[in-house]
Amino acid sequence: MSDKNQARRVRVEAAFAGKDITRSLLPYLKTITYTDNEEDETDDLQFQLHDREGVWLTGWLGDVFKAAVTQAQPAAATAPVATAVTATKMYRVTSNIGLYVRSGPGSGGNIGTLVWGAQIVVKSISNGWACIDFRGKTGYVSAKYIAEISVSNTAGWVFGEKVTVSGQPQYSSYGVGTPGAAVSNRTGHITGLNLASGIKYPIHVDQMGWFAESQVKKADDTGGGTAAVTAPARVPGFTIQAKFVRDNWHGDGVDKVLDSGQFELDAVTCDGPPAVINIKATSLPYGTRLRQTEKNRAWEAVSLSGIAKEMARNGGMACLFESVYDPYYERQEQVHTSDIQFLSELCHRAGISLKVINNIIVLFDQTIYEKKAPVFDVRRGDGTYSKYRLQTGETRTKYTSCRVSYTDPATGKKIEAIFYMNGCRSNAFPQRPTLRRGSKGQDVRDMQKLLVDRGYPLPKHGVDGLFGPETESAVKSFQRSNKLSVDGVCGPKTWAALESTTTDGLNRNGQQLEITAKVASYAEALTLAEKMLRLRNKKGLTASFTFPFDPGRVAGITCTLSGWGPWSGKYIITQAKHTAGGSASTTQVSLRQVLEGY
């Protein structure tokens, strides 16, 4: 709570590499901007600083560049967990959505956020709350979201060091999946460490995979690689965090906080005169293996969530999958493509949105967010905004349907499906076999996908190609809703109802989008047609507004525009740019009209 008698303001708290630098930063700060994107684009955090005295150019930047050369953090900004710890307990954050740090146990205010996987030193645990040092302050975190790490105070493995490996690399540090081809005395560099207790394969070397300690030795060692695993010698990447606090905005002493989360230093530019330093940090740095390393790999018998989780694990990140639909792939080939680019392409085809924030890869169903109730309304002339812009998007043509077709060159078999807006689909369906409990294969997957699309979820097993009790129950629910014989068997009438839904008054005379793409089944073609139609039409009407600083207006929430002629209607925030400093603190939002009838 703020003093009710003070003027309203927006203040910023910042930390570089875990050290609170708010007081030393403020005299130089021109502006700080946090850009929050709904999907695809990475979030970023940018500082613009006065540097008339050359403090940042000759001091801080010199330390950062020296750190880049020596692969060590600047001494003045080293985080508490950067070096090996002797005679103390270290823990790792296990919450895959991040962990709030509070000023007191239980009811204390939020003073920051720890990302998934962060390593912390715990001073004590009492009544379910762990006491830690956080940016020079005493903080408290819930003890149920941290796990003790078994570490040693002896010299151990270090990120980036040269090693020699022999044996079979593993699918993951947990030994999941079939081991790779054996190697013998292969030289490489450590690209990942999993320090949790009980991990069988804690060392990741180059792109080969994970190895046990007994399979690894330092390049200049003659021993068998028996050194114990310890904490990394440095924090990978230079971390930057910022928190915006809106004090006493309505004269009631109530504060509102926007914590941007954790970013890594991405780029620095120096301009002048007058001397200005621009520091940019990003939620997914260009230097990370997830974004930078191009790979060739065949993914077989795996779901989208499985691919995302393995990529996150190998990149030292967490994965949060928030979609009922989880497509299954017999085979997908990743050719000269980075993990994040390949994952983004798969998400686009599946109609699933991708976002990276706070060391977490998040996959979510955008249509669910669009259906949520509007959070605020912008009425023309209401005085809540200082600037606005309305425009037609990149799409000049509004398509009412999409046709996906593919002819197998080997067999000459043609697969074709048409998706119409408002849920009306083509009546030309392929002949389907009758399916019942015990059936399995691609036709079962097609049926399961259609059930999920129609709002009959399969939360336990998902689209797995196996017709079990859960699928039978969903079929019965669908039959009951559509006034069919409720027998749990998917015969001709149930197939027809699943694949063809009629809507009165549909205009079939609109523009049709034509897509030629390799598909394995009718259901896959139909799903792709729906997603491509949505992707092409979703940039129809857009708008942007500039408001006084508002931490509550973030990417992914919906709002309405009223009194704006053809632009009136429901919208979703695709980007929120929060800026503090300068003559005024503002929130600029970019909006896209919500798509309906899909």
Give CA–CA dist 337/44, Å, rounded.
Answer: 23
Nearest to 256 by CA among 499, 79, 10: 10
CB 553 within 8 A of CB 425: no
Can you tell me the mean pLDDT for 139-168? 72
Identify whether the C-beta of residue 556 lies closer than 8 Å to the C-beta of residue 507.
Answer: no
| Predicted local distance difference test score (pLDDT) of residue 501 | 46
Query: pTM above 0.85?
Result: no
Peptide bond before residue 274 is cis, with ω within 30 degrees of 0 = yes
Residue 261: CB atoms within 10 A of its CB come to 22
Three-class SS state of 352: coil
- Three-class SS of residue 171? coil
- What's 271-286 look like in SS3? ECCCCEEEEEEECCCC
Contact 322, 352 (CB under 8 A): no
* d(C-alpha 427, C-alpha 354), whole Å: 33
Is 135 within 8 Å of 144 (Cβ atoms)?
Answer: no
Pairing of strands 90-93, 119-126: antiparallel
538 and 20 Cβ atoms separated by less than 8 Å = no
SS3 assignment, position 559: strand
Assess contact for 32 and 581: CB atoms under 8 A: yes
- Within 408-534, strands assigned E span 414-420, 511-516
Name the amino acid, one letter, at 583.
S
Token pair for residue 495?
A: 């197939």
Position 227 confidence tier, pLDDT thresholds 50, 70, 90: very low
**Residue whose C-alpha is closest to residue 595's, from 370, 411, 353:** 370
Q: What is the pLDDT of residue 220?
A: 55
What span, in angstroms and rounded, lies between the C-alpha atoms of 547 and 559? 14
pLDDT at 77: 32
> DSSP 3-state assignment of 263?
strand
Report the pLDDT averaged over residues 543-562: 91
End-to-end Cα spacing for the chain: 45
Closest CA to 240 of 259, 264, 220, 256: 264
Backbone phi, psi, residue 527, to 5°: -60, -45
Q: Report yes or no: 28 and 16 within 8 Å, Cβ to Cβ.
A: no
Read off the pLDDT of residues 11-70 as tens digits, 9 standing for 90 and up: 787 877 667 777 777 788 888 999 988 776 788 889 888 887 777 777 666 655 554 444
Asked if 546 contacts 579 with a C-beta cutoff of 8 angstroms, the reply is: no
Question: Mean pLDDT across the chain, nearest whole number?
Answer: 76
Backbone angles phi, psi at 141, to 5 degrees: -130, 155
Q: Please tell me what DSSP assigns to residue 108.
A: P
pLDDT tens, position by position, 310-366? 888 887 778 888 887 788 888 888 888 888 889 988 888 777 888 887 778 888 887
| Neighbour count for residue 85 (Cβ, 10 Å) | 18
